[in-house]
């Protein structure tokens, strides 16, 4: 089901990017918009979150539960930081006078990054639940029993798959926006 949902997300973004390309080439008054610089920082943050979640998953498998909790908490903090940085970027665009109503290029930046933030918020929900469970099972025996339970292993695998998916998705979307807004 998760892979089907991810495919649906990819299709949504493909259609948005296709609409972008068609609108850009069909609009003689298209205004290229410079992406907020903070989007570069948010991209680095989301990459770091993928690395920290991979470390958390490795620690979980090796029964290093303190490291698991630390890396899971770091991933959660980095995910929240990404969202905050995106909001700062949107605010920067608004201060530069780039609104959804007056700038088609700006509207696409808001739409693409906003849709992605919605996907991140979904991931943050599950990261928060997993982090809470990790904190609740702080004793080694509780953490061990939790870690050998197949449904809990599946939850971690699915959450990791989804988080890496939204990270890769952002990298591709960001590359698309950088390429198309510099031309």
Extents of the domains making up the chain: 1-181
Q: To the nearest whole percent, how much of the chain has pLDDT over 70?
A: 91
The tens digit of pLDDT for each residue in 103-136 reads 888 888 999 999 999 999 999 999 999 899 888 8
For the 1-181 domain, the top CATH level (class) is: mainly alpha
Q: Which residue has the higher pLDDT, 125 or 143?
A: 125
pTM: 0.88
Cα dist from 121 to 63, 71, 95, 118, 144, whole Å: 28, 18, 25, 5, 29
Classify residue 105 as exposed, middle or buried by CB count within 10 Å of its CB (0-12, 13-18, 19+): buried
Instruction: Answer positive or negative: Cα dihedral of 156, 162, 164, 167.
Output: negative
Backbone angles phi, psi at 102, to 5 degrees: -105, -10
The tens digit of pLDDT for each residue in 50-72 reads 999 999 999 988 988 889 999 99
Average pLDDT, the chain: 88
């Amino acid at each position: 089901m998760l892979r089907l949902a991810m495919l649906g997300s990819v299709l949504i973004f493909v259609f948005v990017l296709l609409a972008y390309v068609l609108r850009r080439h069909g609009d003689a008054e298209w205004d290229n918009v410079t992406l907020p610089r903070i989007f570069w920082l948010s991209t680095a943050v989301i990459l770091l979150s993928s690395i920290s979640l991979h470390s958390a998953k490795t620690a979980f498998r090796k029964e290093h539960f303190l490291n698991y909790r630390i890396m899971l908490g770091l991933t959660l903090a980095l995910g929240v930081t990404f969202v905050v940085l995106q909001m700062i970027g949107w605010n920067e665009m608004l201060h530069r006078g780039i609104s959804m109503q007056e700038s088609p290029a700006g509207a696409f930046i808001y739409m693409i990054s906003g849709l992605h933030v919605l996907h991140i918020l979904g991931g943050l929900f599950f990261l928060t639940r997993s982090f809470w469970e990790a904190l609740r099972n702080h004793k080694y025996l509780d953490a061990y029993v939790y870690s050998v339970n197949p449904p809990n292993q599946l939850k971690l695998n699915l959450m990791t798959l989804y988080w890496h998916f939204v990270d890769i998705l952002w990298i591709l979307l960001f590359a698309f926006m950088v390429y198309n807004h510099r031309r």
